[in-house]
Every structure is written in C-alpha cells, then in structure tokens.
Structure 1
Amino acid sequence: MTDQFDVVVVGGGNAGFSAAHSAVEQGAKVLLLEKAPEDAAGGNSFYTAGAFRFAFDSIDEVADLLEPDERHADSVVPAYPESAFAADMRRVTGGRCDPVLTDVLVSRSTDAVRWLATKGIRWRLMYERQAYLSDGKWVFSGGLFVGTVDGGKGLIAQHTRAALEAGVEIRYGAEVTALHLDERGVTYRGPDGAEHRVAAGAVVLSAGGFEADPKRRAEHLGEGWDRALVRGTPTNTGEVLDLALAAGAAPHGDWGSCHSVAWDADASPTGGNRELTNQLTRQSYPIGIVVNVRGDRFVDEGADFRNYTYAKYGREILHQPRGRAFQLFDAKTRPLLRKEEYDSRPIAGAQADSLPELAEKLGIDAAGLLRTVAEFNESIVDEPFDPAVKDGRAARVDPPKSNWAQALDTAPYYGYAVGCGITFTFGGLHVDESAQVLDTAGRPIDGLYAAGEMVGGLFSGNYPGGSGLTSGAVFGRLAGAGAGKAARRG
C-alpha cells in the first residue's frame, strides 16, 4: 500500500522541521520521516548550543524576540551587517564558498530567525558562550550573539510542538531506502523492518551528511578520520546523499573537509551524549595554551575569536600523536572558562600544583612541556589582557599566539584532554536559490529539494560559528515553500 502526501521531508533536524513548517504554509499535507527513534530524534540540531548567526545593523531590530534579561542594559552587542557576514564567509573558507548560495544565506538570515519566532522558537542573548565582562559591561564578539532558549534540546522540542500543532505527521524509526523521482516519493523501512512506499508531490532531503560513518569519512576526508569522535547523531551516515547522487543529483562543495572541534577525549566515538550534548566541547582554548603529548604547541590559540577557529582546530588535533591534545590553564585563567563545559562531569582532565605533576597525570612529556611553557611565558608582549576584544597581547613564539596570551605560571594548574569531535561534513548536493536540487547538467530536478547539511558549497575547511543552524532554517524554509508549490502544481 502506498501512502499519499503532498510533501515528504526526509530528516527531522532544524532544517527538516523548517521545511515542514514552510510546506504547511503552502497548504501542503506533510509527512516528516526521521531515521532515529523518537527518544533519539532531532538530528545534529539536538546536540548544538542553539546558536544562530544572522545579520543586523542594530540589535534593537530583534530586541522584541529576546527573552528578558536584567543584563541587557549593561550589554554591548555590536552591529553585524550583511557585509560583515558575507566577508566572514569568504574569509574563513578562503573564498571557497559558493557566492550565490552565500548571498541567499546572508540576505535571508534575519528573516529566517524572525520567521522561526512565529513558529514558537524562543531566543536569548548567549551570555555564557559569547560575552565577557569588560569595564562593567557584557561585551559580545565574533558576530554570534543569539541562540535558542534551552539550546538544541529546546530548539527541537519547540520545532516538534509547532509541527504537530500544524498537522505535520512525524514517523520515527523511518530509514529511507529508495528515492523515486519519476513517480515522486520515497520508500522507507520502519521500526518493524517492513518497507513502506510514500507518494508525494515533492520531496525535501534534509538527512544530514556522512559524518557518523567511519568508512565514508576515511574515503572522503582522508586517513585517520575514521578515528574521529562523533559529537552529534549517530544516524547521519550518508545513505540519503548516495541515493540522491545515484538519481542524478550533482555533488557540490568541499567533500574533503568538515566541521570538527575540540571534544572531550573520553567521549563516545560513535555518537553524542543526549544528556550533556554540547557540554562535551571544550572551547575556552583562546585564553590558554594547547599542547600535544610531546608538550609542543601546534596552533595559534588566539588567532581570532573562537567563533572563527573552533570548527577547524579539531582537524589539527586529529593530526597530532595519538589524535589527542591538552588545553592548559592556571589559577588566573581557570575562572574565565565556560562553566557549562569545564564544570561538567565526567570530564577528561586533571589538576595539579606543579606543571610536572600535571604532565604526569595527563600523559604529557614533562620535559617538553616545561620547555614549551618557559619559551611561551618569556615571549609575551606586555599589553593589557582583555578576553572581550582582540587585545594584541601576543606571544612571539612558533606558532605564535596572536591575542590573549597569559603566562602559565600560577598554581594550581588545570589540563583538559581533547580529541577531534566531528560535527558535520561540508560536501553535499548542488541546489539553486530556491533550494531545488540540480542535476549534473545544472538543471533543476522536478520535485526534489534539499536543506541543512545536505546542501554543499557553503563551507570549506572552516566555518563561522552558528551559520549551520541558520543555513538549515534559510534553505529549509525555501525548500518547504518550493516543495509545497510544486505539490500544488502536481
């Protein structure tokens, strides 16, 4: 028996729900298929902090969306115009972002946030992640200021509630096994192992990349990537991408790189923690130093605001001996660490009253560490330390530390072991400005749309923090609208 819907959405993360909401606005009868069971649903979006990057000339433009907070009056939130967002996209990807898709992302980012608010998504300023106190003011930086209430968990709960209230049917444990372009629709395998056919006027693919599959990672990203730690959903294994490519969809973007971060070294390699979610990341490294097991530094921890470096530094950790590194702090800098990350338990770390003792506890070569720290401490430029701005307090060593250099010299000392946590892959399908999938000749494929991680071409090598969820909302909204209209025509 074949079920009949106007639009079928494959994947139940932020992008999939955005597509479902948008298709309903077109009057479509919508089915959303989620591969994971209900208690493991939400895609990678569930595991995020819920941060959205979007453009505005003044935070006052979206002040009506923000949850009340007594700190607002003492907050400095700089303007982030479309020109800055576009420039960040070009800068962090080395100019390898698709200019057409980047323009769509940037120009529609603010409207997408405001539109999601009409679906019940709640917003707040992210003090604990994006601001430091400076001269009595909460100073935000890095172009990323706003996130969802209750993070990724809240985002998915709010999306799900809105979809159900709007009449979207959600089927969990539904693994898509075939894509039917001629007749429009899909076949999926249900929790009981039986296969079910769904006919639809249009299909939206939002099933993520291949980051949770070790073999595909090794094939596309290269040697060693099969050992990366999966920080999100274990269900993003690439089969839907393969189905689309086999049906004639064009690949697009950088299939050889991904979003990867410093992740708790003892975390599960096969999928994220549903309770701790993003708390397993370790992102206060700009105010400390990072060394490998030999005690050597290998990145510029202060090259830029965290939002512009964290998604590429996981790769650098993977390439170190044993694929492991250590973030080190002392009594001066430990109070500045993100509490939700560094105070969470369990945590791979140690505390000691001396550097040799800390090295022994963490498994770092003590002689190498002492040499590195001595050289680092002696090379620091005497500028005022201010973590809220690029303070120019540099360490003139190799590699340099361009900002926020503090001597590691005050006991007790703290160290946190990190590995490479892969978030999502950058290669995907080629879509046009309406999120319609293109074939290998550059022609739109009737009735087929894509959103979220399945859209290739936006990111390469690196990524501006918070732009992934924004992309999911922007292209999900476009895909759902296009699919809804296509279904009506059909």
Structure 2
Amino acid sequence: MSEIPEQVRAFDLETDVLVLGYGCAGAAAAFEAATGGAEVLVLDKAGGPGGASALSGGEVYLGGGTPIQRACGFDDSPEQMAAFLRAALGPDADAEKIELYCADSVAHFHWLADRGVPFTPSLWDAPAWVPPTDDGLMWLGENSWPFTELATPAPRGHRPTAPDFGGKLLMDVLVAAAESAGVTAQYDTAATNLIVDDSGSVLGARARRYGQTFTVRARRGLVLTTGGFVDNDQMLAAHAPRLLGHTKVSAGTDDGSGIRMAQAVGAAVRHMSTGQAGIALVPGLAARGLVVNGRGERFVTEDTYPGRIGQAALFDQDMDVWVILDEQAFEELPEAERWGVRPAHVAETAGELGDLLGLPPGALTATLTRYNEFAAHGTDPDFHKAPRWLRPLAPPFAAIDVKAGVRPPGRGSARRGTGASVFTLGGLHTTVDGAVLDRTGTPITGLYAAGRAASGLHGAGYISGTSLGDGTYFGRRAGTAAARRS
C-alpha cells in the first residue's frame, strides 16, 4: 500500500481516477474509467470542458471499412490505412500505436457513434480544411502523391454532422456521455504538481482553484490529458523553436503543464521538436493553381492535404510562399468557400507578377511555362498533381499572399500574421495503454497520459483527425487501464 508523504498529511478530496484536462482525450478517459466501475473526477483550468478539441474542425481519422466509407462506395482495410499513416505521420511515427489504432478503427467508429456522435453518409470530394456542408467523409491527402503509390486511396476524414467546424458538437456529445456515466468535474481549477510516495508511485495531485490550494488523491490512477505546449514560449524555445512567432492553434491553455508535472517525477518525453503548421491558404484555390516559394519554384503538390503544404512552407521555405492562379481558377471556387481571400497582386504576364512579388527575374515565367506545357497534356512529372486539377493557367495572373490570413466561417475577420498556425505534437512517452514511462522505459506507477500531452501516433508528420482520433482512442485505453489498477 502506498504511503502518503509527510508533507501531505491528509488529502482534501479522494477519487478512484483523477483526470486532468477535459478535451477529447479527457472525456474519453473519464467515460471509460467510469463505465469500468471507477469513481472519476476531472479537473480543468478553463471555465468549462472542450479545450482545443471544441475549437477544431471535428474530423476524426478513421478507416479500415467504416459504415460511412462503405456507404460512400469505398473499400478499405486496416492494412491500407496503416500503410498511409506510417508514411504520412513519419519519420519515426509510432508503428505499434498505428497498427493498433488501425486494427481497432472500425470498432472505435462504433464507439463514437454509440456515444451519440452523428456522421452523415456522404462525401465531400475536394480539397478543403473544413467543408461548408455536413458531409460525413472527406479526403485528407490519401488520394495525392506520393501516398497513391504507397497505399490504396480511401477517404478517412470522418466528420460529425455539422456544417463547417464540428469540434464543439463532438465535445458536447463526449462530455454528455461522461456525465451520464457519473463523471464529475471541477472547472477553473489548475493542477500544479503531482504527489508521489517514496517509491515514485503517483498518488494524486495538488491543485489551485480561486486562490485556494487543495489536494486530490487518486486511489487507482491519474490520467494527464492537459494538451500540448504551444502556449508556452519558454518550452517552445527549448524544444521547438521553429514554432515560435506564429499563430497558435489552441484554447489558450496548452501551456505544457501536464508534461512538466510528469517530467518532475521522472517521466520521459518524445518528439518534442515536432509540430504541425496549418497554412492560411484555401485548399480549393491552391489545388487549381500553383504554390511557389520565394525563388518562384514549386515545392509541393498543390492537391495534397493542406497541412502538408503548411509543414513544407514553414520548415523548408520559412513561409516565403505565394499561391498563383488565374481568373478561372479563382472564379471556379464558390465565394462562400474562399474564406474572404482575395489576390494581393494581379498582372498581365508571369514576368510582371514575379516582379511585383520580388521573385528572381524570369523565375515565375519559367515555372509557369513548364507547368502549362505539362498541364496541357494532363501530366505533372514534377509533383504528380492529379489530372483533375491540371489545367494551363491563362493571363491575367494573380498572387495570393498567405500572410494576409483567411476568414473561416464564424471565426471573425482575417488577421495578418506569418501565414502559419501551429501546435505541438511531442509529449510524454507512453505505452499503448497510456502508461507514462520514465527515462529507463519503466512505467511510472499510477500515471497515465493521452492526447497532445502524450507522444501519440505522430512522428514529424500530421494529418487532420489524427489528434481527435488518437486522443479519443488512447484516452479510452488510458482510462480503462487506470480504472483497472487496484
């Protein structure tokens, strides 16, 4: 039996399982722990549940032959799903977690549906960040090069039935499920440190609410689902300096507190330098045109998952990028799907446009001439853009400045920045059941983690839906494991 440390003479509260953080991973962990027979308390520093999950597009990356995929006419298998994720989330993606996640993906879909998450059996069949419809399925780069050569393409972005951003709907359903299972929560409550016994086992946590400090004992286990560290510039400077200075994708509470609390009791971390970079371009416009760097050169296929364009733009081009298109490409996309984007420069020739952008003389002309020659024959030997999006561009030409930002529905006006919106991917080293490992690879007794506080499926790559999918699935496993511990 673990002994209470002398400095904690008595705990103020006790519960079987204590969950810190109430985003998608916390809600999933709390639900599974409660349905496993445990008393569950959730603490969250915000004024209510949701976190970054509630602000997200709501996509959950699922495949392997879900009912929504089959209804839309797509065959899929766990093996093909895993082959795609190994390539898209690498290098050094977690192969064991990917294999397990893909093998259980159909079952995880049913778990979400059984909790009440609605999915419409229809497909949004064009590049997009967030479709303007309630279609329940979308492509997330599976049908773009080089992935078409590595796995049989199938769309796997599963969206809750909501137009535009569906994260709030997803979280409303998950929190309602947790509450119906008996989970209780305290908000405006920030955990400050973990409490361990002399053997290093985690007994609970110290927290602060409205200026008062109190302690909570977790009789069976404590689950950290406190998010990443994009809101902590000191941690970014130490681990992921390329993410500094950009728009942060968070609810303002991804301060790395859970990661730091666990490190203080000996936890190991992985992939702390990795991060995702969304780019302020409209995917439907990029696919119809060209994305070029400060040398006037293409550097990525434009019809791929837009987050992949963002990573290449930030990490390889330092966000010195432009979207080049013509009038037809701009007008083909309905105004409602342009998210307020307008060209920054227009010119009658590629040379004139290149001069306006400060590109090397003749560079844009050479790039556009080569692209048009191949597009006229329906091929793209340089970046293998799908024939559907290949068409020679005709003057006048326009350039979109990604630094001008976009205006997603219901998200206020566009604001000028670097053109990148970032969050972290690295975190605590965990097993597939969420047990947090120390620096020798040994589980820390009583401590579990999931979501962006943990290093999940990802290596250096990212695909939309893998945060919500990873968080809910491995959150479930962490909650189950914590509840089973006696």
TM-score exceeds 0.5: yes
Structure 1 distance, partners of 2:352, 2:54, is: 35
For 2:443 and 2:186, how far apart are their aligned partners in 1?
Answer: 28
* 1:87-121 superposed Cα distances (whole Å, 9 cap, x missing partner): 11222244512222222222222212211222222
1:85 to 69, 77, 81: 81
Residue-by-residue CA offset, 1:434-479 (whole Å, 9 max, x unaligned): 2211222222222211111122152122123322211111101101
Partner of 2:177: 162
- Residues 6 and 30 of structure 1 are in contact (CA less than 8 Å); yes or no, is this contact kept in structure 2? yes
Tell me, what secondary structure is at the counterpart of 1:227? coil
- Give the C-alpha shift of residue 15 in structure 1: 0.9
Amino-acid identity (%): 25
Looking at structure 2, the residues matched to 360 and 84 of structure 1 have their Cα atoms a distance apart, in angstroms, of: 42
Offset of residue 21 of structure 1: 1.0
Specify which of 235, 254, 278 is matched with residue 261 of structure 1: 278
Give the C-alpha shift of residue 60 in structure 1. 4.0
Which of 139-148 and 456-465 deviates more? 139-148
Report the 3-state secondary structure (helix = DSSP H, G, I; strand = E; otherwise coil) of the residue aligned with 1:406.
coil
Cα 1:371–1:98 change in 2 (3 A) is same
Alignment of 1:13-412 (within 5 A): 13-38=23-48, 41-57=49-65, 59-60=66-67, 75=72, 77-94=73-90, 96-125=92-121, 127-128=123-124, 141=139, 142=142, 143-150=155-162, 151-182=166-197, 184-190=203-209, 192-201=210-219, 202-222=221-241, 224-252=242-270, 254-263=271-280, 282=283, 284-292=285-293, 294=294, 296-302=296-302, 306-307=304-305, 310-318=306-314, 323-335=319-331, 337=333, 342-345=337-340, 347=341, 349-350=343-344, 352=346, 354=348, 365=359, 370-372=364-366, 374-384=368-378, 393-394=379-380, 396=382, 400=383, 402-403=385-386, 404-411=389-396
Using the TM superposition, give the Cα deviation of residue 410 of structure 1 relative to its aligned residue in structure 2, in angstroms: 5.0
Q: Give CA deviations for 1:330-387 in whole Å, capped at 9, x if unaligned.
A: 23323554866x4334x57547474679959986559567525543444424444xxx
Tell whether 2:459 aligns with 1:463.
no
Structure 2 CA distance for partners of 1:152 and 1:130, relative to 1, 3 Å:
farther
- Relative to structure 1, is the Cα distance of residues 301 and 321 closer, same or farther in structure 2, using a 3 angstrom cutoff? closer
- Give the alignment's Cα RMSD to 1 decimal: 3.3
Kindly indicate whether the alpha-carbon contact (under 8 Å) linking 1:12 and 1:207 is maintained by their aligned counterparts in 2.
Answer: yes
**Residues 375 and 163 of structure 1: CA distance in aligned 2, closer, same or farther (over 3 Å):** same
1:218 maps to amino acid: A
2:353–2:397 CA contact under 8 A, matched in 1: no
- Paired residues of 1:311 and 1:462 also in contact (CA < 8 A): no
Q: Secondary structure at the match of 1:248?
A: coil
AA in 2 matched with 1:332: Q
Taking structure 2 as the reference length, the TM-score comes to 0.78
- Rounded Cα–Cα distance in structure 2 between residues aligned with 1:129 and 1:208: 31
Q: Give the length in aligned residue pairs.
A: 431
Secondary structure at the counterpart of residue 124 of structure 1: coil
Shift of 1:131: 7.3
- Shift of residue 154, structure 1, vs aligned partner: 1.1
Amino acid aligned to 2:238: E
* CA-to-aligned-CA distance 1:282-306 (integer Å, 9 cap, x gap): 57523321134x461342224xx62
- 1:28 to 1:339, Cα distance in 2 relative to 1, 3 A: farther
Q: Is the 8 A contact 2:124 2:137 kept in 1?
A: no
Change (3 A) 1:423 1:168: farther
Q: Is the 8 A contact 2:279 2:402 kept in 1?
A: no
* C-alpha contact (below 8 Å) 1:429/1:455 kept by paired residues: yes
